[in-house]
Amino acid sequence: MDSLSQAQITEFKKNGHITVEDVLTVDEIQALAARTDMIAAGAARHVPATSIQLEPIFRRGEREVEDQVLSVRKLYNLAVYDPVMWEHVINPKVVEIIAALLETEDIKLYGDQLFMKAPATGTAQAWHQDSASWRDILPMDLVSAWTAIDEATLDNGCLHFASGTHRWGMLRAPQLAPLLPDLDSGQWPSVAAPLKPGSISFHHSLVLHRSGANHSAQRRRGYATHYMRATSYKDETVTDAPEMPPFKQVRGKSYEGRV
């Protein structure tokens, strides 16, 4: 497929998110789905157990794990260990879009997260900005590619975006709290982003977004890969950001003293 049109780039700059349909083939999605379940089952010995997080109800022991895969909330830091997930990260069909949105050929992977959202036990994620967690990476101008492995619907917890909020700057929890009633009531309108398998939503690291719980009988697996310019700077004085594996080059060149 071709990269983005100028209208799509303008839409992303205005809203902080866009959806691109049918980026991946059925075979590509099936490969991701199979690898996802293998890792979630704990059968991928090259992926550390620390990359697997169960849903809270299982972590707290309130419910017994009967199916390991369906008990997992999310997987993360996969691509640095697993070749199948890395092939997705560097897939030219994805990276061409990222390059157009970041306006550079020099790109590194910040990290990745695979959200499992199992039926019945898949929990909601409240309004948040990614860069509020990744606050050691500057400028706060990363782009995530959220790939639907299963169909993402309103019933099973698709993403919702508060368009334009990437222009508000980074908001810590006390700053975000008084704005939540406006977001939850729709006074600041939000947009649902249902996706078919193989379609991808791209979002800015400062746009506010959330997802609902899975109230359906259908799974909702989505693989989010987070990209940044290779010229980005890591502020080592920030001590409360996630500890990440070494950042891997996706395309182009790296720069001394940068990420």
- Mind listing the pLDDT tens digit for each residue in 134-180? 999 999 999 999 999 999 999 999 999 999 999 999 999 999 999 99
Q: What integer pLDDT is reported at residue 3 of this predicted model? A: 84
Give the H or E element holding residue 57: helix 56-59
Span 186-227, pLDDT tens digits: 999 999 999 999 999 999 999 999 999 999 999 999 999 999
Mean pLDDT value of segment 26-38: 98
Q: d(Cα 255, Cα 51) in Å, to the nearest integer?
A: 28
Q: d(Cα 112, Cα 176) in Å, to the nearest integer?
A: 24
Best CA proximity match to 197, nearest among 49, 5, 30, 1: 30
Q: d(Cα 211, Cα 193) in Å, to the nearest integer?
A: 10
Distances (CA, A) of 102 to 3, 68, 77: 13, 37, 22
The token duo for 135 is 């606050």
Q: What integer pLDDT is reported at residue 147 of this predicted model? A: 98
Q: What integer pLDDT is reported at residue 2 of this predicted model? A: 61
Contact partners, residue 9, CB within 8 Å, separation at least 6: 100, 101
